[in-house]
A and B are shown apart, each in its own frame.
Chain A
């Protein structure tokens, strides 16, 4: 199996032409992100991803993690790779320099994270969770908590977790029962069990900082009674040194379909008198803190979808160029590499075009987040935040559904060998499968999009996005040639379908909420397909501008052809999805339960 080779050419194109790295580098605090420094960072990250993390992807899948007496052992090589990862300073790339980070914009972070996820998704989860915990502490922690924990989390010498789920509380956080009782010294005694805790226990770092959602005595029922507590594996003395082991343990780890190298722990708190925890932020405000972690985590899981899709595509492409089988339709009698067969070509283009659309959309959203966080003008910040909020469920939901399909296509390109584990194509499909489920299933993302992001503001944010798409349509109209005519035609139908579906849900959300909810996932897919089409149209226009300016790079021609494929094969599905959103509810809801 070939090792991962970071697609630096496409990454650079998207960073400059779609996400506007130049504009992001002008934001206050982003001055370090000049084009040459970013290029050097990406080149070295690509080396590290390809030579250190990628070879361990298979090792981790096969060896998995082991749990014995509450001690979890990581697969061979992971400890050394993690040490190299944190010694290289990669963990704190996007973190505040005040805590030891490098303060690079989220846009640069997104590109680098994509590489970690392509190279070794199971490995990358540890850092992702640590950064999520650091972000929550940064926003809600006390000055003492920040001073004590942030430098370690930013460096990665301690790792973080997110303890939310309990056996009876999955998508419904209101059912959480884990409880915390105050002690006289201001700390809390924590009791309860948490499940599905990624990197809840491992041997990569000297301490693990658990952020746990729990209820304080007398807290209101439901999600409004949840508080966030910081519960370290080893208690930390006032001088920052490690003290005794806290009263928490890993009971077991799960046997999963994929991401075998990511230990998914069942955690038990307070079996021996209560685990010591500290309240983060005000009492009963845990959900808000959790949403901070959740939004970042949802975007990061979208990047997992992108990263896995890229890896699956690279592997399928290498196989298709190498595997000789069957003669070419209309060609000579000799056998040819299967990449010459039109259907294999179609599958590869379907993978490639969606990977490029996702990359463009992910970096576009990452840049919007940087503007929303750092721009001096409040109106500009607000406009970009609305765009990010609208797009995060799309990045999470649509990317990960794509990833499952793309990894499946990757297996299909391999034929029978793809179904054999040794080939390696199966791992990508198994690893991708969790991404549509954790951090909120696709159904949860779709209902977030439908109710919070479209219905709540009467479709204003979506309308603003559609208006920008229509500007791109006007630019396409000015561009000559069959490719641009095809892209224009499909994109025009796509935007119209999205507007029709959005108008329908806004008009019917109140009177027929159940019926509208049937169309939530189709709407999310429609939104993803059309947003991706927008990005590919902009990519094609940028490629045309560059080649008109005398750049003879064949990559640019490839970009335009890929955008055309996307238009005719992916965007073409948009009107069908609008059909389902506007007409699909009776068929879904009419049967009585006893009729199933």
Chain B
């Protein structure tokens, strides 16, 4: 069984995000980038399935600029067998990414696509669902446990107020939540071997996919700064302020 793991290159979670002066987006110049943490969990889950003998091959995939090769090398350093980059300078929105993934799935014919439930840069939480819809495959999102046996996947997923367990036939799409696993560290020998693993590059045109944005960004702004606290004299004043100023009760 082959598993496809899409990974996204995002701003490193340690970096303080800054908005560009003209409010057109986030400033990415000279900023440290890394693999989306939810996608690291997806890679780890795929590797565990391969190590358990359930999967035979793990293919990492990314879409974006040539710099995404670095993120794919990271996936291969963790243990992915090979990688595919769909290279484009264009702004990629979730639907475009889902269409690119759809085209790659058609070529690669994996039984399972595991991807992060969302990326920590735009938090869209759409790509996995859109991909499942385009493929007409079953999907299980926000997975915190994944069992694969006899051509079926059993997925425990985190929902409001508890957990839910779903069973679905393969092929299928699974998106990962934080508690699915704890990703490993890449070993030094594997980091060095990653450079020699195959990395295939396509352009969106090779896949006959139109990636033109459907949504327009009007503006990006920093959240308002937190105001300093105040001291209230008694409970009555606190309740009055919560009711009249904060308007939360």
Contacts and interface: CB of A to CB of B under 8 A. Distances in A.
Contacts of B188: 41, 44, 88-90, 92-93, 102
Contacts of A40: 70, 73-74, 77, 186, 191, 194
Contacts of B34: 43
Contacts of B30: 552-555
Nearest to A50: B14
Interface of A: 5, 8-9, 32, 34, 36-37, 39-41, 43-44, 47-48, 52, 84, 87-90, 92-93, 102, 552-555
A36 B70 contact: yes
Given A44-B186, A89-B189, A552-B29, 8 more contacts: A36-B73, A37-B191, A47-B185, A88-B187, A88-B188, A102-B189, A102-B192, A555-B30
B185 A5 contact: no
Nearest to A100: B189
B32 interface: yes
B243 interface: no
B29 A37 contact: no
Interface in B179-195: 185-189, 191-192, 194-195
Contacts of B195: 34, 36-37
Q: Ordered nearest first, which 5 A-B pairs have the shortest CB separation?
A: A89-B188, A553-B30, A88-B187, A89-B187, A89-B189
A153 to B, nearest CB: 16
Given A88-B185, A553-B29, A44 B191 contact: yes
B187 A87 contact: yes
Contacts of A88: 185-188
A166 B70 CA distance: 51
A9 B12 CA distance: 13
Contact residues of A: prevailing secondary structure: helix
Contacts of A36: 70, 73, 195
Interface string B191-223: 110110000000000000000000000000000
Contact of A37 (B32, B185, B192): B192
Interface residues of B, number: 18
A84 B73 contact: no
Contacts of A39: 70
21 contacts: A5-B14, A32-B192, A34-B195, A36-B70, A36-B195, A39-B70, A40-B70, A40-B74, A41-B192, A43-B34, A44-B77, A44-B186, A44-B188, A84-B185, A87-B187, A88-B186, A89-B189, A92-B188, A93-B188, A102-B188, A552-B29
Contacts of B185: 44, 47-48, 52, 84, 88
B86 to A, nearest CB: 20
A37 B73 CA distance: 9
Nearest to A34: B195
A13 to B, nearest CB: 11
Interface in B102-159: none
A545 to B, nearest CB: 16
Nearest to A33: B192
B227 to A, nearest CB: 14
B180 to A, nearest CB: 18
A437 to B, nearest CB: 32
Nearest to A91: B188
Interface in B35-66: none
A5 B70 CA distance: 21
Contacts of A43: 34, 74
Contacts of B187: 87-89
Contacts of A48: 185
Contacts of B70: 36, 39-40
A341 B32 CA distance: 30
Interface in B50-100: 70, 73-74, 77
Contacts of A552: 29-30
Instruction: Find the residue from A8, A88, A92, A93 having the highest chain B CB count within 10 A.
Output: A88
A578 to B, nearest CB: 40
Contacts of A44: 77, 185-186, 188, 191
The interface centre, meaning the residue of B32, B70, B188, B194 with most chain A CB atoms within 10 A of its CB, is B188
